[in-house]
Structure 1
Amino acid sequence: MKLVIFGANGPTGRLATEQALAEGHSVTAVTRRPDAFPLSGAALRVAGADIMDAEAVDHAVAGHDAVISTVGVPYTKEPVTVYSEGTANVVQAMQSHGIRRLVCVSSIGVNYEDAPGEAFIFRKLIVPVLLRMGRPLYDDAARMEEIVRAGDLDWTIIRPAGLFDGTTTTDYVVSTTRHPGWFTSRKDLADALVREGVDNRNVGATVEVITTQGVPSYFQVFVKEALHIGGNKK
């Protein structure tokens, strides 16, 4: 299968690219910094393009079977538009070239609901801080979701929880309803992105991907995400 992956030089994008190549797919990895992309291979093409550049996106999308977007930004107080404007460019390019399958990363923070069994301190202290600090990001991700749903494509929106670096793919949960857990391994997210895109799972649905094994503590996530230690890019 011919896949194009936007945000390919981010942590999740690299993992998704690596997995797709290992499974025998052809991949175009789209990144603003092609010289810094660490992967190589006969089935890999690295394309230098900005998702905010409609013409560059159109060139990158042409000739593929499916599009995966792992584009993400750190928490910020400034307005965010990369999700909505960038994805609008992707949707337009896909429509122009007759490409149907789109899988993109959003966030569980877009439409937060308490999950059964969540700890009191997490629900009442940590979650409100993370949601407040990430509001510009979540607001734009919500706009992106609206664009995707209106685009007349075979789409799947994936909402991960708090991202962390796992070492292996686990038996993660994919759910169309709020599932207990506030953590998602990037390895699991990358696996879900490839599975959804290649196997055409959950077409026309918004799903959560939740890791339940080997997750970090609430405190570790709070320090990393709320205090900007270690970054927050997908």
Structure 2
Amino acid sequence: MRITIFGANGPTGRLLTRQALDGGHTAVAVTRRPDDFPLTDPALTVVDADVRQTTTHALDDAVAGADAVLSTLGVPFSRHRIDTYSTGAANIVAAMHRTGVRRLVVVSSTAVDHYPGRTNAPVLLRFLEPVLKRTAGKSTYDDQRRMEDIVRVSGLDWTIVRPSGLFELPFVTDYVAGQVDPEGAFTSRTDLAHYLLTLAAAPGPRATVTVSTVEHAPTMWQTVKREAFKNA
């Protein structure tokens, strides 16, 4: 397959690009910082494009001929209004319509919704997630909801993927994914990348799905301590 990856220079995007190449696919990595992109491969094309720009032809060039377009766009939390997800989605959808590409898979978050059926959730998550949704994460999750709305009415063959809290693992696990409530509180980036590639090869569905890592996940306290001392 020929796969176009937006957000390719982010932590999930780099893993996704590597897995795509290792799987024998042709990858088009779209990034605003092509000189910083760490991967090279004969089957890799790195495209210099800003997904938030509406006047560039680079987006059309990036998606033209793709069998699937995968978006792992992400930005840090901010108290200010965020529109990267929604603006990026609108521009990607427009480019896909112009070039006749149909398959779109985008990454959102389980935090944009409420999952009363979530299983094996740590007690601490019940207290932290509502606070995060109202404070540091509010602008991010609001824009991810706008992105999801754009994708759902796009007329494309779309899938929205909602991981939980992202963390690093060097290998793919036996994760749980699909049109199910999330399990636990975390998703490894390697599992997320693997699932995105699986969906790229599948027709449809037009659905919102989750992906949960149920083994080797950190505890909530480990995550809180890591974030608290990240910049110490």
- For the superposition of Structure 1 and Structure 2, which TM-score range results when normalised by the shorter chain? over 0.9
Moved over 4 A (4+): none
Residue 45 of structure 2 aligns to a residue whose secondary structure is strand
Is the contact between residue 115 and residue 182 of structure 2 (CA under 8 Å) also seen in structure 1? no
TM-score (norm 2): 0.93
Q: Where does 1:10-89 land on structure 2 (aligned, <5 Å)?
A: 10-54=10-54, 55=56, 56-89=58-91
Is the contact between residue 28 and residue 45 of structure 1 (CA under 8 Å) also seen in structure 2? yes
One-letter code aligned to 2:230: I
Is the contact between residue 162 and residue 221 of structure 1 (CA under 8 Å) also seen in structure 2? no
Aligned to 1:186: 189
CA distance in 2: counterparts of 1:108 and 1:32, whole angstroms: 27
CA distance in 1: counterparts of 2:12 and 2:109, whole angstroms: 14
Is the contact between residue 84 and residue 147 of structure 1 (CA under 8 Å) also seen in structure 2? yes
* 1:167 CA displacement: 1.3
Deviates more, 1:27-36 or 1:213-222: 213-222
* 1:222 CA displacement: 2.6
Structure 2: which 5+ residue stretches go unaligned?
none
Which of 160, 163, 168 does residue 166 from structure 2 map onto?
163
The size of the alignment, in residue pairs, is: 227
Residue 166 of structure 1 aligns to a residue whose secondary structure is coil
* 1:178 CA displacement: 1.5
CA distance in 1: counterparts of 2:226 and 2:205, whole angstroms: 33
Is the contact between residue 154 and residue 203 of structure 1 (CA under 8 Å) also seen in structure 2? yes
Q: Where does 1:126-165 land on structure 2 (aligned, <5 Å)?
A: 126-132=128-134, 133-165=136-168
Deviates more, 1:174-183 or 1:104-113: 174-183
CA distance in 2: counterparts of 1:63 and 1:96, whole angstroms: 11
* Alignment RMSD: 1.6
Aligned to 1:174: 177
TM-score (norm 1): 0.92
Is structure 2 residue 220 aligned with structure 1 residue 218? yes
Structure 1: which 5+ residue stretches go unaligned?
none
* 1:145 CA displacement: 0.3
CA 1:183–1:41: 2 relative to 1, 3 Å: same
One-letter code aligned to 2:63: V
Residue 181 of structure 1 aligns to a residue whose secondary structure is coil
Is the contact between residue 31 and residue 48 of structure 2 (CA under 8 Å) also seen in structure 1? yes
Residue 76 of structure 2 aligns to a residue whose secondary structure is coil
Identity of aligned residues (%): 48
Instruction: Render the CA deviation track for 1:64-111: whole Å, top value 9, x for unaligned.
Output: 121000000111111010000111000011011111000110011111
CA 1:28–1:228: 2 relative to 1, 3 Å: farther
One-letter code aligned to 2:23: E
Aligned to 1:195: 198
